[in-house]
Amino acid sequence: MADPPATPNLGRRIETAAAAIRARLAAEPALAAPQLGLVLGSGLGAVVDLLDAAPRLHISYGDIPEVPVSGVTGHAGELVAGMVGGRPVLVLSGRVHAYEGYTHREVTILLRAAFQVGLRTVVLTNAAGGLNPAFEPGELMLVTDHINLSGDNPLFGPNIDALGPRFPALTDAYDPDLADRARAAAQRARVDLHEGAYVMLAGPNYETRAELRMLRGLGADAVGMSTVLEVIVARHAGVRVLAFSLITNKATPDVEFGATHQEVIEMGNVGAARLVKLLGELLPEIA
């Protein structure tokens, strides 16, 4: 059963997870002070291959205290530490979703622990439905803004002053310099990159046709069940954010059939190659 909104002992739980990560990283001194992190969405585990072969460290989420573990297909559920461009990077390969029975406070414990370890920049990725009729499955979207319709917020409850302010502003949620670097990297990699707003719903069901019309009318270009909560805790902590959506299916009201999770995973595997190309250009200059 999910914790109540206050999520008792949240600060202690975050620090316990952070201490466990620090202890594991200490075994590989070159990996001990990462400033860049990535969170990988459904079917995007291939991004891990951008890390140098060695040194590399794999930590199962189940081996990090206080961190919930996902049972959703397409999410590896491990933290991978490695090097890019001579600098250490943390990759959260897979994420836990609130629809699995957790609060937003719980599902962001791992990411907030990673911030305590030292991350100052985070690249978020997700699989999303394309609300914008110009988007095709397998294409990428640079997230430039978001709408939170999940019905929850990871900052509900008493504020943990050591982690950030009570009322963080989100008008600058997505870092403009990182976005410019992503655009330039996409051009170098010859990868088409759409731009738009991402809307988060609670899930786990996909949307009705009426909901798709509403979401498009609100100004959203892609829809999914994650990411926004991670942006909120990142900006709360003063961490810079860059985010990409991989469009896995058409989410327009006129689609003949609704999306399936298997379709999302399969198209994630197809489109992941484009994201890997783009990130291969981008990561060495932002690590």
Hey, which residues are catalytic here?
A: 42, 75, 97, 99-100, 127, 225-226, 249, 261
Cα gap 176→169, rounded to integer Å:
15
Q: Do 238 and 164 form a contact (C-beta atoms < 8 A)?
A: yes
How crowded is residue 5: how many other Cβ atoms within 10 Å of its Cβ?
12
Q: Do 122 and 92 form a contact (C-beta atoms < 8 A)?
A: no
Cβ neighbors of 171 (< 8 A, separation 6 or more) are none
104-122 per-residue burial string, b: 16 or more CB within 10 A, e: under 16: bbbbbbbbbbbbbbbbebb
Cα gap 60→201, rounded to integer Å:
27
Token readout for 78 is 């491990």
Label residue 132 exposed, middle or buried (CB < 10 Å: 0-12, 13-18, 19+): buried
